[in-house]
Amino acid sequence: MVASRIAFISEIKKKPVTEQYPYKPISVPEGFRGKPVIDPEKCIGCGACVNACPPGALSIYDEGNYRVVKLFLGRCIFCGRCQDVCPMGAVRLTDMFELASLSRDDLVQEVRLLLEKCSLCGKAFATRREVRHVEEKLDPEQRWLAHLCPRCRALVSAKMIGYARGCNR
């Protein structure tokens, strides 16, 4: 009995340790994994984040002339895999964690990127930015290839190899 009373009395003399949150803001350490934000200026719509995302919070689909990268925070687990794999450094986890909202729309971020049409068949196949990103990595004389859809590029490449080998049929 005595021991438990001593424990109780020594505790009751202390000041409360309760944080005054939400009346006072609370700080989070550096490297905190909060709400992910896509920088619409940097995103090229490659879909690497969509592939890596474990819960399927990120999705990618085409709508008219645009490719949409959609982030739905309702599914997000804040693991930061999107940030790891993004080749452009466009996804970043912020220190925001107060995400409660009355509207579902507040939990959605959409990045809309103009699609590039294949210069041969006219089918939309990648975003303009992604094509430009690839173009920059190619030699100047190969750059036109970046504007072909994968199917046309395969056909054209096969033909070119055929010409080079002299089997012109």
Please give the residue ranges that form the binding site for other proteins (CB under 8 A): 1-4, 6-8, 11, 17, 28-29, 31-33, 52-55, 77-81, 84, 93
| 50 or 90: CB nearest other proteins | 50
| 1 or 100: CB nearest other proteins | 1
Residue 128 and residue 71: Cα distance in Å, rounded? 20
| 53 or 146: CB nearest other proteins | 53
As measured in angstroms, the least distance from the Cβ of 143 to other proteins is 32
> Over the Cα atoms of the chain, what is R_g?
26
As measured in angstroms, the least distance from the Cβ of 106 to other proteins is 22
As measured in angstroms, the least distance from the Cβ of 79 to other proteins is 4
Residue 45 and residue 111: Cα distance in Å, rounded? 8
Neighbours of 60 (CB within 10 A): 17
